[in-house]
Structure 1
Amino acid sequence: MGFLVNTLSIFVVALAIVFTVYVNYPEPPLSPLLYQWQSSGQHMDFKGYRVFYKDEVTAGANDITVLLLHGFPTSSFDWYKILPDLRRNVRRVIAPDLLGFGLSDKPRFHTYSMYEQSDIIEALLKKINAPKVHILAHDYSVTVAQELMARQIGGKLSFGSIETVCLLNGGVFPSLHRPRLMQNVLRMPILGTVVSKLTNYYVFKWSLSEVFGANSQPSRDDYHDMWKLIRQKDGYRVMGDLLAYIDERHKNEDRWVGAVRTNRIPLHMIYGPSDPVNPPPFATTYRQIIPDASLDELAQGIGHYPQLEDPKRVIELYLNWLKRRQAITQVVFNT
């Protein structure tokens, strides 16, 4: 009996040590690429929180400003593969990390809201004097773009005007959105808190990999960089709070779907069809609901992150659409 008790005690102590080390394991260092990304950015104060953003003025061929808005659970770094061609074609590129993401502050016990994220974008664009922007938004930020469109349509946009909007795979229609298993778990009141605390690189990689196409998975370096940006400032601890956007989309469906149905702002969609979050019925529904729908569908096998899975095709389609809208006069690609 004593042997069993001693063995059990040793096991419990060992388990406690392993758990303590596991949950307090230090975040990975910045890679050279991430270090360069961070060093070339700036921070804005928003109600006491620091919001990271990149604001690049380039020698682009066309005098327009593109605002890049990222998805969940990643950051503005998602755009790094399309930036070279984008810089050649536009004069200014702005890429913020929304509150709770990337290199921005990630307050715990905070009520994250699409309205607040939209307020942050308005404040940023006023601060840096960017009165007219062309929005390219993905996933989570598709809803931020919809809210900004609703504000412009209602005459309540404060920074100037949205010239065009292009959306990449995102939950435009709440009824078609399919949250992944990990997202549903993280949303649970108690279990979600425990799971977020236990999340590590391997759990993150497993959960994110399922939304990419089988043959267009991120590289090992990309996974590490994405995890580093989530791990920064203990961001993995707030992922459940950030997922409040799923319920928020349903509550505000009339406002946000209405914004894209008005046909008041030039709108385009670039869609990866192998997306389990917004599965193929999405494209059909989009064409049915959006008047004179403008949509480019990527090759089979491209999933939820088109800008990372097929960056050359995404930037080609985006720039050619801007040219058709007469927003730009020429398209320049790296040869």
Structure 2
Amino acid sequence: MQVLRTPDDRFAGLADWPYAPHYAQVMDSDGTALRLAYVDEGPRDGAVVLLMHGEPSWAYLYRKIIAALVAKGHRVIAPDLIGFGRSDKPAKRTDYTYARHVAWMSQWFSGVDLKHVTLFCQDWGGLIGLRLAAAFPERFAGLVIANTGLPTGAGMTDGFKAWLEFSQTVPEMPIGMIVNMGTGRELTLAEIAAYDAPFPDETYKEGARQFPTLVPVTPEHGQVAENKAAWEVLERFDRPVITAFSDGDAVSRGGDAVFQARIPGAAGQSHVTTKGGHFLQEDCPDDITAIIDTLIRTRS
């Protein structure tokens, strides 16, 4: 497997991003070593919050939420998925599979040995993060699920269909502008540049290109059976689960009802509909911080 690594100078001086990277190594089944980057901020004895980003963003999406949660005394961990942010980027589209991403993140999660975790997940952060919760349910104390799903081949929304077509036909992927198009507010030029930073040119974007095609929206997609098995675990998960889908996301619209109906821990919880687009972290970071903090303090 050929692997690209974004030069460190691409991350120098990014707006509102003071966080030092931590690194871990994960091994692919073909023997390739990959460097995975993550943020780890806050007191070591604080309640652990795991923030999982999706496509085509990176941990920068959580910059305001990280600071706010640390200020409340929590330990906050935000990884960059392989192919994104400071993490290594396989050079071929075919190197990116749903199964590989789950395997890579499972290795990392086991290695950092996190316990009593509160997960916040959005977009592919849910498709992968919820698989972690199903694989290691004893390590999770609560879930906050936003603008995501755990699909099992039953179709797609019109919003996702439009995104899939765009992602596979646009000549050059304008990463920062894609995030900007998915927010309710207008991002600054500096913020857009920060989302572009991990990708010096199109060769670094193969993961971003491939991810939309990997969502198991048909029975023929890979990982349908594995997601069904994960649902069986989540349907027994009785720790607190809160949905926090936004009111302006055509891609995931209606997905919150599925989680509320199927996961026991969601019963009787104060589910929230936030304001904002698909990347609600950019639109309502204070609300997200309050939801996570309240869940932790109510649970304690």
Q: TM-score, normalised by structure 1?
A: 0.71
Contact 2:91 2:203 in 1 (8 A): no
What RMSD, in angstroms, separates the aligned Cα atoms of the two structures? 3.1
Matched, 1:33 2:14: yes
- The aligned runs of 1:43-58 (5 Å cut-off) are 43-47=23-27, 48-58=33-43
Matched, 1:273 2:247: yes
> Please, which of 272, 280, 284 is the counterpart of residue 306 of structure 1?
280
Other-structure match for 1:282? 255
- Is there any run of 5+ residues in structure 1 with no aligned partner, and where? 1-25, 154-159, 327-335
Query: 1:29 Cα shift?
Result: 4.4
Amino acid at match of 1:296: V
Matched, 1:171 2:149: yes
- The aligned runs of 1:1-335 (5 Å cut-off) are 29-30=10-11, 32-33=13-14, 37=18, 40-47=20-27, 48-58=33-43, 63-109=46-92, 110-153=94-137, 161-173=139-151, 175=155, 177=157, 178-179=159-160, 181-187=162-168, 195=170, 198-199=171-172, 201=174, 204-213=175-184, 216-231=185-200, 234-247=203-216, 248=222, 250=224, 252-279=226-253, 281-291=254-264, 292=267, 294=269, 295-299=271-275, 302-326=276-300
Contact 1:115 1:147 in 2 (8 A): no
C-alpha distance in 1 between matches for 2:110 and 2:100:
15
Contact 2:90 2:96 in 1 (8 A): no
Give the 3-state SS of the residue equivalent to 1:103 in structure 2.
Answer: coil
Query: 1:151 Cα shift?
Result: 1.4
C-alpha distance in 1 between matches for 2:268 and 2:203:
40
C-alpha distance in 2 between matches for 1:230 and 1:179:
23
Pair 255,56 (structure 1): closer, same or farther in 2 beyond 3 Å: same
Pair 184,163 (structure 1): closer, same or farther in 2 beyond 3 Å: same
Amino acid at match of 1:69: M
Pair 249,224 (structure 1): closer, same or farther in 2 beyond 3 Å: farther
Query: 1:37 Cα shift?
Result: 4.7
Pair 253,86 (structure 1): closer, same or farther in 2 beyond 3 Å: same
Pair 314,111 (structure 1): closer, same or farther in 2 beyond 3 Å: same
Pair 304,264 (structure 1): closer, same or farther in 2 beyond 3 Å: same
Give the 3-state SS of the residue equivalent to 1:68 in structure 2.
Answer: strand
C-alpha distance in 2 between matches for 1:140 and 1:74:
10
Deviations 1:233-256 (A, max 9, x none): 943233222334313465544224
Q: TM-score, normalised by structure 2?
A: 0.79
Other-structure match for 1:14? none
Give the 3-state SS of the residue equivalent to 2:83 in structure 1.
Answer: coil
Other-structure match for 1:330? none
Deviations 1:242-281 (A, max 9, x none): 33431346554422433433233432211111101112x3
Deviations 1:123-179 (A, max 9, x none): 3234334344221111101011221122135xxxxxx61222211211245645442
C-alpha distance in 2 between matches for 1:208 and 1:236:
14
- Is there any run of 5+ residues in structure 2 with no aligned partner, and where? 1-6, 28-32, 217-221
Contact 1:199 1:236 in 2 (8 A): no
After superposing on structure 2, the runs of 4+ consecutive aligned residues of structure 1 that deviate more than 6 Å are none
Contact 2:240 2:295 in 1 (8 A): no
C-alpha distance in 1 between matches for 2:182 and 2:206:
21
Deviations 1:58-113 (A, max 9, x none): 38xx7311111111111111100111210022442211111111111110224323
Pair 320,245 (structure 1): closer, same or farther in 2 beyond 3 Å: same
C-alpha distance in 2 between matches for 1:252 and 1:126:
19
